[in-house]
Amino acid sequence: MKLLLFLSNYLIVTIYCANILVVSEIGSVSHTSMLKNIAKCLAEKGHNIDMVSQFPLEKPLERYTDINIANKSSLLTNKFTQNDVIALTTKTMMMSMVEKVGLPACKSAFENPKLQKLKKTKKKYDLLIAELCMSDCMLGWGWYFDVPTILISSSYPLPSRVDGFGLPESTTYIPTFFAQGFSTKMSIFDRFVNTWEYIKAKYIINSYNQIIDEITRDFFGLEMPSLIDLAYNSSLLLLNTHFSIHFARPLVPNVIEVAGLHIEEPQPLNQYYDNLLGNDTKGVIYFSMGSLLAIESFSIDLLQDILDVFAPLPYKVIWKAKQDGLPKNLNVSKNVYFENWVPQLDLLCDSRVKLFISHGGMMSTQEAIYCAVPILGIPICVDQFLNMEHVQDSGNGLMIKDLNKNDFMSSIKELLHDSKYSKSAKEVSELFKDRPMSPKDTAIYWTEYVLRHRGAPKLQSFAKQLAWYQYYLLDLIAIVLCTLFTVILFLMLFIRRIFLSREIKLKHL
């Protein structure tokens, strides 16, 4: 009996132990975190993981092999200034995302000797996991190794990215994050703007596909299908969204919501941060504008205004920023502490933290919601406005679109003094966590489902095979209209002929 149990366990492990290639070419910590987390979970489940990214693990993990393609030129940490992002329109935003992020990341990755070596490997892979974001160039690995592909979107899916899954995308109630400041409740003018921005962004993305296709074919070979076709043939899409904190929308079977996938179990703060938070004030305010924006690019007047607002508060303020990069003549009060790096999730989940001041990035927003901390959002670009719209609608935070001293002070006081925000934060946190399976378990289950069923073609919606005019019934509408027009025309001609014949008869009488 023991021998049978051993053999059955051995066979189960053998069957489900897959070789999985996970690729994250974008030099962004937040974008990579989702893929790293699912890669670690899969390794812990017994799969063999080769992880291509610019951010290797700090500690080695069994069955997890880092392929480090770090490159300073494509690294995005503190790369963007305030002026860079404020001046962006939908067109320049999309062009910047592709030209300054997507294309350089693809070129840098394909030029890396480690990926050149990967291309020559004799290793047999069973699955590719890649990010669906600013370019699809890494989808070529799925074709090259002839394996199913799972895509992960670390934000809302970009326009033109949902077509490959047959996912309904109605701009009447689904806001695109390029139309800043819209929620699901839109006026007729809002719907017009939302639709226009969606179409414009979709056109710009598609116009760059040829350039990215050429770069990718130069690496994988001219016989490679287009990246659009490869995206259409993907088996699964894991979305970093959830109806509890975003909005409810219809999903097809192979599109799964896994918001919070990057969130690890919060740990107690180490002695340094425990002492830093202390217990000698009403609590702590944590301030971070994310990893991409260089805080030192803020004007000295704006920085001083922020510090002047913090100065009289009976709270400690932990500001994630490099103080040596800020102007030397700033007047910094004693309650403000600058930190180059912060264990953000652990800090937010500490009961002494009363408010999170943030840029409204997807990962940071989800961590604050998980920890039930009210949020004051200062969105700068892309999905940050939409994230904070959802926060405001849920009642667990406020948003400042144009940062100024008076609004900043009044918003902080309102969030700290009105208990409704902390109450809403707890309620939203409970909704966010209330699921049949955790985001990690959900992602792992469906990943292994694709492995078990060789790409799981039964998950695919037939809608993805329809042309756009078929999907929106335009061909049927055209036939009906033409038929009605023809019938009406014949009726008119018939009636006209009857009347003419009568007139002719009357004239001959």
Q: Are residues 456 and 400 in the same domain?
A: no
Structure-token pair, residue 28: 């962004």
Tell whether 1 is covered by a domain: no
Tell whether 449 is covered by a domain: yes
Confidence of residue 11 (pLDDT cuts 50, 70, 90): very low
User: What is the C-alpha to C-alpha distance for residues 396 and 427, in angstroms, rounded to an integer?
Assistant: 9
Q: Which of 64-78, 173-187, 207-221, 430-444 has the highest mean pLDDT?
A: 430-444
Confidence of residue 97 (pLDDT cuts 50, 70, 90): low
Tell whether 377 is covered by a domain: yes
Q: Are residues 133 and 256 in the same domain?
A: yes
Non-local (6+) Cβ contacts of 91 within 8 A are 200, 204
Q: Are residues 354 and 401 in the same domain?
A: yes
Q: Are residues 347 and 417 in the same domain?
A: yes
Tell whether 11 is covered by a domain: no
As a whole number, the mean pLDDT across the chain is 84
* 418 CB neighbour count, 10 Å cutoff: 11
With H, G, I as helix, E, B as strand and everything else as coil, classify residue 8: helix
Helices (H) and strands (E) in the chain, counts: 19, 13
Q: Are residues 444 and 425 in the same domain?
A: no
Q: Are residues 257 and 337 in the same domain?
A: no
Tell whether 341 is covered by a domain: yes
The pLDDT value recorded for residue 65 is 93
CATH assignment at residue 97: 3.40.50.2000
Overall number of domains in the chain: 3
Token pair 């209330």 in the structure block, residue: 434
Q: Are residues 481 and 341 in the same domain?
A: no
User: What is the C-alpha to C-alpha distance for residues 256 and 171, in angstroms, rounded to an integer?
Assistant: 20
The pLDDT value recorded for residue 83 is 58
CA 270 to chain centre: 31
The pLDDT value recorded for residue 280 is 80
Domain end (from 410, 433, 456): 433
Strands 397-399 and 336-339 turn out to be unpaired
- Are the C-beta atoms of residues 39 and 51 closer than 8 Å to each other? yes
Q: Are residues 123 and 218 in the same domain?
A: yes
User: What is the C-alpha to C-alpha distance for residues 166 and 164, in angstroms, rounded to an integer?
Assistant: 6
**Through-space distance between the first and last CA atoms of the chain, rounded to whole angstroms:** 111
**CA-based R_g, the chain, Å:** 27
Structure-token pair, residue 191: 């719907």
Using CA of residue 413, residue 419, residue 425, residue 426, what is the dihedral sign?
Answer: positive
- In this predicted structure, the answer to whether residue 14 has a pLDDT above a threshold of 60 is no
Q: Are residues 50 and 151 in the same domain?
A: yes
Structure-token pair, residue 382: 């892309």
Summarised one tens digit per residue, pLDDT across range 213-225 is 888 999 999 999 9
Q: Are residues 442 and 491 in the same domain?
A: no
The pLDDT value recorded for residue 412 is 94
- In this predicted structure, the answer to whether residue 355 has a pLDDT above a threshold of 80 is yes
Concatenated DSSP letters for 153-181?
Answer: ESSSPPTTSSGGGT----TTTS--TTSTT
By percentage, how much of the chain surpasses pLDDT 90?
41
- In this predicted structure, the answer to whether residue 290 has a pLDDT above a threshold of 70 is yes
Tell whether 109 is covered by a domain: yes
Summarised one tens digit per residue, pLDDT across range 137-170 is 899 999 999 999 999 988 877 766 677 788 887 8
Tell whether 367 is covered by a domain: yes
Confidence of residue 301 (pLDDT cuts 50, 70, 90): confident
The pLDDT value recorded for residue 6 is 45
Torsion (CA) 136, 140, 143, 148 in degrees, nearest 10: -50
Q: Which helix (H) or strand (E) holds 357?
A: strand 353-358
Q: Are residues 495 and 461 in the same domain?
A: no
Domain extent, residue 358, equals 271-433
Nearest to 281 by CA among 315, 236, 332, 240: 315
Residue that wins the pLDDT comparison between 489 and 159? 489
Residue that wins the pLDDT comparison between 58 and 409? 409
* Lowest mean pLDDT, pick from 182-191, 289-298, 301-310: 289-298
Summarised one tens digit per residue, pLDDT across range 453-482 is 988 989 888 888 888 788 888 889 999 999
The pLDDT value recorded for residue 91 is 52
Q: In this structure, which long-range contacts are made by residues 98-103, counting pairs with CB atoms below 8 Å and at least 24 apart in sequence? A: 98/134, 98/135, 98/204, 98/205, 98/208, 98/212, 101/26, 101/28, 101/76, 101/134, 102/26, 102/133, 102/134, 102/135, 102/137, 102/208, 102/212, 103/135, 103/208, 103/211, 103/212, 103/215
Q: Are residues 410 and 449 in the same domain?
A: no
With H, G, I as helix, E, B as strand and everything else as coil, classify residue 80: strand
Tell whether 227 is covered by a domain: yes
